[in-house]
Structure 1
Amino acid sequence: MTKSHEITAGFVPLLDSALLVVAKEKGFAESQDINLTLARERSWASIRDRLAVGHFEVAHILAPMPIACNLGLTAPAQEMVVPMALGLGGNAVTVSQALWQMMVACGAKDDLDARTNGAALRQVIVGKGPKLRFGVVHPYSGHNYELRYWLSASGIDPDHDIEILVLPPPDMGDALRAGLIDGYCAGEPWNTFGVLERDAHLATVKASIWRSSPEKVLGVNRKWSESNPEALSALLRALYLASLWCGDRSNHDELVELLSRSTYINRPTDWLRPALSGVLHIGEGVTAEIKDFFVPNAKAATFPWRSHALWFYTQMVRWGHIEHTRDHQQIAGSTYRPDLYREALKSLNVALPSANSKVEGALRSETPVGSTGALTLGPDGFFDGSLFDPDQVDAYIASQKRG
């Protein structure tokens, strides 16, 4: 009889913890001889710290955080690898009703278009007195870097024209209502909560700022991964099978019920269903269908693209978090490990990309790509039409403005 692998995974109660929850609750972990224990944490700092001291082997974690840890930007921290993404998309920028009305007066629309609504926000900021304040969940988060990218490409200097504060995701809506912040970038269900319970309004979404981009990934203690390759491969297979289940719309009612349980997100099903359906509450009773708002499996959603890692690295350089050197770039790019993903999924005959990196923004429509099977990628890319070529990191960093 095969001895089961004992794995403890940390998670923050967000919609994109779904793959871990489903792997445990629907038997995919058990089918791979894994005894999977899930440990809920309130903040990303706690996730990082408990990984560092060995309370967890793996964790649901912010996509840039393992890179930051490996670059020595945050302590305490163990070296990590990222052998899998946990889906694409899933966050939004939510603003107070007062700010939204000012943006509407400057041309903002309910279509959540990043370009139009970013231009409206810029007009508001130019004509406003005290600085607006926006919340993000962690300095080394996709939320922070994508919010900054959106603001900067809209002509707003995020370091001088506004203030950016760090808050845990569950506190965002209450901070908005209390007037402590004017907007925030967070994952679901906290944007839906803001709209339904705190009179907020969505300004734009991740799927508009950087389409087909990663939100959370599987962060793995590097030493544990090297000592337990079979256990890690088994976990990746379980999570991939869970992603297929999550991607099937016929399972969404059950998925919402699972996630809403007190041991997981512990929030009403009505707060969770919109992100899965792609029909989100925008504000003032309006809903909008957002294509690819959260993608758990399609379009290589769980593949750990090295180009994603390197883009996050360029933003760490851009905003003064790290000096750009050849060694730092190498550390960042090698944090994401498509080789581990490929090895683990061989036995499942999964369609895989033929490359480990891609030019971000090159796919303007859904595109069949060369791979080990039928696979469609895209559309991807940035709202301002720019491209990121991972083979041209120096030039990309040189081309970026701070504000």
Structure 2
Amino acid sequence: MSDARFEISAGFLPLLDSALLVAAREKDFATDEGIELNLVRETSWANIRDRLAVGHFQVAHMLAPMPIACNLGLTPLAASTIVPMALGLGGNAITVSKALWQHMVAHGATADLSPRAAGDALRAVVAERARAGAAPLRFGVVHPYSGHNYELRYWLAACGIEPDRDIEIVILPPPLMADALGSGALDGFCAGEPWNTAAVMLGHGRIATVKARIWRSSPEKVLGADARWAETNADALAALLRAIYRAAQWCAEPANHAELAQILSAPAYVGRPALWMRPALSGHLGITDGISVEVDDFFVPQAKAATFPWKSHALWFYSQMVRWGQVGHSVANAAIARETYRPDLYRAALKPLGVALPGANAKVEGALQTATPVGSAGASLVLGPDGFFDGSLFDPDDLDGYIAAQKSPTGY
């Protein structure tokens, strides 16, 4: 018999950014908080969503926009879901086939992961193929309501490519991306690690750009929690948030990266070589055979308030749902998106630890060009840089203006 005060089951997908949940269990941070944390590896984001809805999981490693989509009624069999914590910043990349990369190089693509150079080159390739009557390029993303879908579309649109006209976007689970690229089923994909590194190491593709360059310090995965369970088990949830925060601190230490990569490589977790985990953890990203690029903020598990559930992040994702025709914009829908993220629960759980807690619930996204000390409760807090590659800003207090200013899906 377990002497844990709380038993919590959490679903996750085999991705590097499940690291915080995995470390919370494997390094006993959950046990120290009185939690028996059962981690269940799943095969798709739809399974994560559905098993949370039917009560198999109380919490889950989730795509940051997915709980918003659940609460907006955009997904079948969705429970009311809250986000009391984020699970880090960044971690994604856009990888293309070697053949496509060669065409992009002919049009000015560079080896420095520049989103602008890669995007402009891709636009030229798309135009060239259209003139030749070739089929549209096919890119994979992991789910319609994913940061991957929105960052890929944002990047394409900012570079003059209309996602719904000029290319084809298909849905595929992340573990299949590298093989799909190698088989020719995809020309490119946007996914989390280690699947971009896998494509490189297997000789299937080339990393063209990364999320950390498209939108610096941007959100990716979150802890989703069944809202009813969270309301009736507030102490259990708070204990879990403390365990995950301590796990984030452990994951952030470079001295722990070799051990973390080894833990994640186990069949119960990512189930792939530890060597595939190391580039994202170190920021020393191998983009193709023999070429690496330093991306210090490729994956940020703890610094820059990386686990804080910013309402401005929720509203930016909502703005993209509106932009791409997934939901209509209304005051009520915006409120649902905003209230999905719960910084109040985060603060209540972590205040006893004396950690740096942002003084605000939202911020202007893209406004910090350099690392900037900000007001906080507890320890000192530094945010940024957090800029979008095209120089734009997202002010959550001007949501209507931002949505109106974006090009519509059909108005290119």
TM-score of the two chains, using structure 2 as the length reference:
0.97
Distance 2:270 2:4 in 1: 31
Aligned to 2:139: 134
Aligned to 2:383: 377
Helix, strand or coil at the partner of 1:180: coil
Q: Is the 8 A contact 1:174 1:198 kept in 2?
A: no
Give CA-to-partner distance per residue, 1:57-81, whole Å, 9 cap, x none.
Answer: 0000000000000000001110000
Shift of 1:381: 2.2
Aligned to 1:13: 14
- Confirm or deny that 1:237 pairs with 2:238: no
TM-score of the two chains, using structure 1 as the length reference:
0.99
Structure 2 stretches lacking a partner, 5+ long: none
Aligned to 1:387: 393
Tell me the amino acid that sits aligned with residue 31 of structure 2. E
Tell me the amino acid that sits aligned with residue 12 of structure 1. L
Aligned to 2:364: 359
Aligned to 1:122: 123
Aligned to 1:331: 336
Q: What aligned pairs does 1:273-312 form with structure 2 within 5 A after superposition? A: 273-312=278-317
Shift of 1:285: 1.9
Shift of 1:380: 0.1
Shift of 1:179: 1.1
Give CA-to-partner distance per residue, 1:24-56, whole Å, 9 cap, x none.
Answer: 010100110001000000110110010011000
Q: Which moved more, 1:282-291 or 1:39-48?
A: 282-291
Shift of 1:2: 7.9
Give CA-to-partner distance per residue, 1:359-382, whole Å, 9 cap, x none.
Answer: 000000000111113110000021
Q: What aligned pairs does 1:148-187 form with structure 2 within 5 A after superposition? A: 148-187=153-192
Give CA-to-partner distance per residue, 1:150-201, whole Å, 9 cap, x none.
Answer: 0000000000000000001111111111111100000000000001103300
Q: Is the 8 A contact 2:214 2:388 kept in 1?
A: yes
Distance 1:60 1:308 in 2: 17
Q: Is the 8 A contact 1:173 1:198 kept in 2?
A: no
Give CA-to-partner distance per residue, 1:312-359, whole Å, 9 cap, x none.
Answer: 000000000000000000000100000000000011001111100000
- Confirm or deny that 1:98 pairs with 2:104: no
Aligned to 1:192: 197
Helix, strand or coil at the partner of 2:186: coil
Give CA-to-partner distance per residue, 1:3-25, whole Å, 9 cap, x none.
Answer: 51000000001000000000001
Tell me the amino acid that sits aligned with residue 127 of structure 1. E
Tell me the amino acid that sits aligned with residue 338 of structure 2. G
Give CA-to-partner distance per residue, 1:246-287, whole Å, 9 cap, x none.
Answer: 001111111011101111111001101000000111113211
Q: Which runs of at least 4 in structure 1 moved beyond 2 Å after TM superposition?
A: none
Tell me the amino acid that sits aligned with residue 216 of structure 1. K
Equivalent pairs, count: 403
Aligned to 1:86: 87
Distance 1:29 1:5 in 2: 10
Q: Is the 8 A contact 1:192 1:281 kept in 2?
A: yes
Distance 1:307 1:287 in 2: 33
Q: Is the 8 A contact 2:4 2:36 kept in 1?
A: no
Distance 2:177 2:168 in 1: 15
Aligned to 1:71: 72
Distance 1:167 1:184 in 2: 9
Helix, strand or coil at the partner of 1:36: strand
Distance 2:183 2:265 in 1: 26
